[in-house]
Amino acid sequence: MLKMKENNININRIHFLYEALARRHASPEDKYLAILNEGLKAFDLSLGIISQIEGERYSLLAVSPTRGDISAGMVFDLKNTYCQQVVREKRIISVEHAGTHPDFNSHPVYIGMRLESYISAPIWVREKLWGTINFSST
């Protein structure tokens, strides 16, 4: 019975994401937030970000939930983000306990925000790494 319930939840999430992406008149920002909010529920994490990467610039296109210390429109040096590893390795990165991981426990993001859980994937557009989507939590 549990497996059937999980399948229904996954089908509902996929359906919700499809509807959010297929809406003709929704802004990109609305679509980004729909994707982030669904990901936050799926991963049970507290912060979702969609970013665009241009050279060494990491621009926040969407942040959910909206917070005072981090919001859409902010720009950071890529080297000061966890996503630098995703961009460098061009693959999904997932860390459950950043404080015990040698690539993360001395990172500026860990020191400043204490984000312990992190999962991120590159976003590819026309075979070029365009940005990242990531979810994290303390």
Q: Which long-range contacts (CB under 8 A, 24 or more apart) does 67-75 make?
A: 72/29
Q: Hey, which residues does 132 pair with through a beta bridge?
A: 51, 122
**What pLDDT score does 129 carry?**
95
Is domain 2-137 annotated with CATH 3.30.450.40? yes
Contacts of 83 (CB under 8 A, 6+ apart): 51, 53, 58, 120, 132, 134
Question: Domain residues of the chain, as ranges?
Answer: 2-137
Distance CA 103, CA 121 (A): 17
Average pLDDT over residues 77-101: 92
**What pLDDT score does 103 carry?**
84
Q: Which tens digit of pLDDT belongs to each residue from 28-78?
A: 888 899 889 988 988 899 999 999 999 999 999 999 998 778 999 999 999
Q: Which tens digit of pLDDT belongs to each residue from 77-87?
A: 999 999 999 99
Q: Which tens digit of pLDDT belongs to each residue from 2-21?
A: 555 555 555 665 656 556 55
Helix (H) or strand (E) holding 7: helix 2-22
